[in-house]
Amino acid sequence: MSTLNTNQIFAEHYLLKERLSSGSIAEVWRAEDWTADGTWVAVKIFTPHIRLDNRTLEQLEKEQEDLASLDHPHLLRPIRFGIHTDVPFLVMPLMAHGSLSDELVEAGAFSEQQVAEVLAHVSSALAYLHSRQPAVIHRQVTPDNILLSEDGLYVLTTPQVSSPLHNRLHKAAGIEQLSATAYAAPELFGKHPVHSESSDVFSLGVVLYELCTGQLPWLGNGGVSLLKGAEIPYLPGPYSRILSNLVRACLQPEPEKRPSAHVLEEEANYFLQYSKWKSYGNFGNVTAKSIVYKRRKPWIPILLGSLLALAVLAGAYFYLLGGKLPENIVATLKSTSQNAGHSAEDSAAETDENVSLPTASPSKQTTIPKPANSSPVRQEKDTQTKAPATSPKVAPAVVEQKPSAQRKPAYTRPTSLNGYLNGLLNTEIPLETKDQWRPSIRRYFTDNAIIHVDIDDSILGVFTVAEFLDILLSTENAASVRIESTITDDSKKVEELYVSIITGGAAVEDTVELQQQIFEPK
């Protein structure tokens, strides 16, 4: 129970006026600093109702000295640390504009612009803390600990004491240790809970979700809900899908899949500079490079038509004259036929359409019937060249044509989603054939399905089905696709798919090249 009262003078310098907050191991008061002409300050008093042992006091004093060296525009810098009658206290600037929690209660859900501002400021402070050697973990990223300065900046309060010291303070106070469950990452509920940079990012993700919806995810149960199989929620409209992707990335159950504070800072600063999120990168909408199909050359039909006309004329000539064609014409027709055959084969190799010319086999010959009203002269000529009646002569073929062009082999259509996805990477299958698989692949998914994609264990982003298919059809360095896990609806259609694109042990520069092939700013 607190032993502090309003209008009480604490540590001979601070007139306590209002209790701002009260926790299990500390209270924060608004007070007048009599040593600074009545300046308003915030005084954080640790375990005011008990006296701490010397070892705990020394450890607390050392940690506060280390924190005093921190200097960042979005971190609340303490003014003084002291100990009064074995009661430690910390004096900080008073942020008269209140906390993010107060602003949320008064104004309601934030706009996307406001969310980007909070994200830019807080992630900048976290990136600074996490870059220290050793890294400084905040442990208490909540709306109550994000304050608004007179300059309109969002400022993160001083990081909490370390876990060992936190435990000692709770034991000294005789109070069971409690945590801000709603903002706690799932790994903090395991057998060996450890605070890390990723757990700070998870807490920030909960804060962002709360700013957009006015509610806590998972009914305030925090990361423990993910351990029990709960799904990561989406942001409602009118928030963009990119912002939703960003928030959901922060709330990933696996710490290693969450973005760093530095990445979040870059994303937010981009939005503040251009008034839009990146359309490429970890959370954006990708625009795969255009897929260009090779089309049949336009002169092929003209050539085939000309060949057919020549054949008709030659047949008419032979029919009317009843004789052989001149040697030069026969040679010309043979050469033209052969060239056309080769052109048709080349064209068939560029498309998956099975095209063949209606040609006759060279072993067969076409019989030209003798006209009934032939002239006596022609009859005499025919009589001289005609075989016996029992074995009539068969006229030679008009044009000796090339055998039918071989049809392209038929490609076996895959029978599973995994088969389809890896088939899209098969360079031996024509692009047009693979593109025709889209409707079949789409039937495996729900209308609003999303796909989480990694490249060689590096996060690539979250995409729609259409975007992901564009990626597979336009990449060159990918070797295979591995399905990691799926989330399906009652009809067994996929709602969320987690996949890894394997580049076959490619070097780092190859992976970067693959990402450059996939992503292209709008």
Question: Rounded to 5 degrees, what are φ and ψ at 15?
Answer: -90, 110
- Output the average pLDDT for the chain: 78
Asked whether the predicted pLDDT for residue 128 surpasses 90, the reply is yes
Which is higher by pLDDT, 431 or 253?
A: 253
Alpha helices in 350-464 (DSSP H): 376-385, 417-423, 431-435, 438-442
| For residues 165-190, average pLDDT | 68
Question: Rounded to 5 degrees, what are φ and ψ at 414?
Answer: -60, 160
Look at 115-124, 195-204, 279-288, 398-407 and tell me which has the smallest mean pLDDT: 398-407
| For residues 425-438, average pLDDT | 89
Considering the chain, tell me which residue range(s) the CATH 3.30.200.20 domain(s) occupy. Answer: 1-94
Interval 142-157: pLDDT, tens: 999 999 998 899 999 9
Question: Rounded to 5 degrees, what are φ and ψ at 113?
Answer: -65, -45
Question: Rounded to 5 degrees, what are φ and ψ at 5?
Answer: -135, 160
Interval 474-519: pLDDT, tens: 777 788 999 999 999 989 999 999 999 998 654 444 444 444 444 4
**Spatial distance between the Cα atoms of 36 and 238, rounded to a whole number of angstroms:** 48
Contacts of residue 256, defined as CB under 8 A and 6 or more positions apart, other chains included, come to 198
Find out whether 94 and 41 touch, Cβ atoms under 8 Å: yes
Which is higher by pLDDT, 201 or 59?
A: 201
The residue whose two tokens read 């050469």 is 335
Interval 5-23: pLDDT, tens: 899 999 999 999 999 888 7
| For residues 26-38, average pLDDT | 87
Q: Is 480 helix (H, G, I), strand (E, B) or coil?
A: strand
| For residues 68-78, average pLDDT | 91
Torsion of CA 204, 210, 216, 222, to 10 degrees: -10
Interval 376-425: pLDDT, tens: 444 444 444 444 444 455 555 444 555 555 555 667 889 999 999 999 99
| For residues 203-207, average pLDDT | 97
**Spatial distance between the Cα atoms of 500 and 418, rounded to a whole number of angstroms:** 12
What is the band of 461 on the pLDDT scale with cuts at 50, 70, 90?
A: confident
Of 68-82, 300-314, 325-339, give the range with the top mean pLDDT: 68-82
The per-residue pLDDT for 173 is 52
Asked whether the predicted pLDDT for residue 370 surpasses 60, the reply is no
The per-residue pLDDT for 165 is 56
Please report, rounded to a whole number, the percentage of residues in the chain having pLDDT higher than 90. 41
**Spatial distance between the Cα atoms of 166 and 146, rounded to a whole number of angstroms:** 20
Asked whether the predicted pLDDT for residue 138 surpasses 60, the reply is yes
The per-residue pLDDT for 431 is 85
Give kind and range of the element (H or E) at residue 194. Answer: none
Long-range contacts of the stretch 358-366 (C-beta < 8 A, 24+): 359/401, 359/402, 359/403, 359/404, 360/397, 360/401, 361/403, 362/397, 362/400, 362/401, 362/403, 364/397, 365/394, 365/395, 365/396, 365/397, 366/395, 366/397, 366/398
When the candidates are 3.40.190.170, 1.10.340.30, 3.50.50.60, 1.10.510.10, the CATH number that belongs to 97-285 is 1.10.510.10
Q: How many angstroms separate the Cα of 348 from the Cα of each of 58, 353, 408, 428?
A: 83, 7, 7, 15
DSSP-assigned states of every residue in 6-61:
TT-EETTTEEEEEEEEE-SSEEEEEEEEGGGTTEEEEEEEESTTS---HHHHHHHH
Which is higher by pLDDT, 85 or 289?
A: 85
The per-residue pLDDT for 380 is 43
Q: Is 404 helix (H, G, I), strand (E, B) or coil?
A: coil
| The length of the chain, given as a count of residues | 522
What is the band of 432 on the pLDDT scale with cuts at 50, 70, 90?
A: confident
Asked whether the predicted pLDDT for residue 344 surpasses 60, the reply is no
Look at 36-50, 71-85, 272-286, 342-356 and tell me which has the smallest mean pLDDT: 342-356
The per-residue pLDDT for 474 is 77
The per-residue pLDDT for 470 is 84
Please state the separation of Cα 193 from the chain's center in Å: 29
Q: Where are the beta strands (DSSP E) in 229-330?
A: none
Domain boundaries 1-94, CATH class: alpha beta
Find out whether 157 and 101 touch, Cβ atoms under 8 Å: no
Which is higher by pLDDT, 374 or 142?
A: 142
Give kind and range of the element (H or E) at residue 98. Answer: none
Asked whether the predicted pLDDT for residue 352 surpasses 50, the reply is no
Asked whether the predicted pLDDT for residue 72 surpasses 70, the reply is yes
The per-residue pLDDT for 160 is 67
The per-residue pLDDT for 386 is 47
Interval 283-323: pLDDT, tens: 875 433 333 333 444 555 676 677 777 777 777 666 665 55
Asked whether the predicted pLDDT for residue 190 surpasses 70, the reply is yes
Asked whether the predicted pLDDT for residue 465 surpasses 90, the reply is yes
| For residues 446-469, average pLDDT | 86
Asked whether the predicted pLDDT for residue 175 surpasses 80, the reply is no
Considering the chain, tell me which residue range(s) the CATH 1.10.510.10 domain(s) occupy. Answer: 97-285
Interval 236-269: pLDDT, tens: 988 998 999 999 999 999 999 999 999 999 999 9
The per-residue pLDDT for 494 is 95
Find out whether 365 and 397 touch, Cβ atoms under 8 Å: yes
What is the band of 202 on the pLDDT scale with cuts at 50, 70, 90?
A: very high
| For residues 108-137, average pLDDT | 96
Work out the number of other CB atoms within 10 angstroms of the CB of residue 485: 9
| For residues 45-51, average pLDDT | 78
The per-residue pLDDT for 68 is 83
The span from the first CA to the last CA of the chain, in angstroms, equals 60
| For residues 326-347, average pLDDT | 54
The per-residue pLDDT for 367 is 41
What is the band of 360 on the pLDDT scale with cuts at 50, 70, 90?
A: very low
